[in-house]
Amino acid sequence: MQIVEYFNDMENIELYIILALFMFTIWFIRNTVKYYKGEKRKVKHLHRFAKEGEVEAQQHLAKRYQKGYAVKKSCQKAAFWYQKAAFSGDPDAKTFLEKMLKKKRC
């Protein structure tokens, strides 16, 4: 009951609601930017490891390009990285590449 009385006596409750929404919006934007910067960093590291010949990185990078996750969707780049992984001896990458060639799309 005290809480209800407090809010009834409180002046300018709209101002507090606006302030709370503003604080939430700032928090949300900050964390969203932080998340996407982290994803960008992950893709950068995947490129570096994939170029060095790490098969798992090549396959993960190909999946990201195929799905368009944190990178622009590109069937050509996905096929390129699946092919590199398949040549390195990854049977899963070979399977994905064969499926892409059969469908002729990502």
Question: pLDDT tens digit string along 39-69?
Answer: 999 999 999 999 999 999 999 999 999 999 9
Res. 8 pLDDT band, cuts 50 70 90: low
Band (pLDDT 50/70/90 cuts) for residue 9 is low
- Say whether pLDDT at 88 is over 80: yes
Under 8 Å CB-to-CB from 54, ≥6 apart: which residues?
A: none
Residue 94, pLDDT > 70, answer yes
CA distances from 98 to 4, 35, 71, 87, 101 (A): 66, 33, 23, 13, 5
Confidence of residue 11 (pLDDT cuts 50, 70, 90): confident
Residue 39 CA, distance from chain mean position: 5
Tokens of 53: 């010949």
